[in-house]
Amino acid sequence: MLINLSELFTREGKEETYQVPFEADTVDHMGQTYEVTEKQPVQITVTNLGERKLLLEGHAELTLSIPCSRCLTPVPYPVSIDVDTVLDLKLTEDERARELDEQPFLNGYNLDVDQLVCNELLLSLPMKVLCREDCKGICNRCGANLNIETCDCDTRALDPRMSVIQDIFNQYKEV
């Protein structure tokens, strides 16, 4: 959803509050795509601070479906995002890049709310999500979810350098 901010520059101190829907259905992060299962409208308040600076405050709440890091079961992950930033529209793109203050959610006088929320969301995602603290994961041989079922796979860790000797033992093993 785009918000045109040009009307805020008429006078210093002018403030506008917007309630806009979050329109993205998925979020991409590190090669993974996460589904947005629940979302609330995003509340944004923009205040003109003068000298082409805007104070941007906002709040968003949504829930993502993220696979468990051990067993790959989808886990609902609620996220609450608060935004509090100053937009300096006097700066050029090169100046923003030098100051490491790039704002891909701002294009001219248009504020892309979905891009803003996604940028803040990516900063708040955890490195690892577990379905439960004692998740057993999946079997590395047959792929069975060990939280639901057990498997009869041989779980001994064999040293690959000893495979020739293991073959000799198997050849002369008594039945």
Give the separation between CA 37 and CA 163, rounded to whole angstroms: 48
pLDDT computed for residue 42 by the predictor = 92
Burial of 80 (0-12, 13-18, 19+ CB in 10 A): exposed
What is the per-residue pLDDT across 32-76, written as a single tens digit (0 to 9) for each? Answer: 899 999 999 999 998 888 887 888 899 999 999 999 999 999 999
Distance of CA 19 to the CA centre of its chain: 22
- Name which of 79, 7, 6, 76 is nearest 42 in CA terms: 79
Question: Residue 88 forms beta bridges with which residues?
Answer: 53
The sign one gets for the Cα dihedral 65, 66, 68, 74 is positive
Binned at pLDDT 50, 70 and 90, residue 102 comes out as low
What is the per-residue pLDDT across 106-116, written as a single tens digit (0 to 9) for each? Answer: 777 788 888 88
pLDDT computed for residue 99 by the predictor = 62
pLDDT computed for residue 133 by the predictor = 92
Q: Cα(first)–Cα(last) distance of the chain, in Å?
A: 71
Binned at pLDDT 50, 70 and 90, residue 92 comes out as low
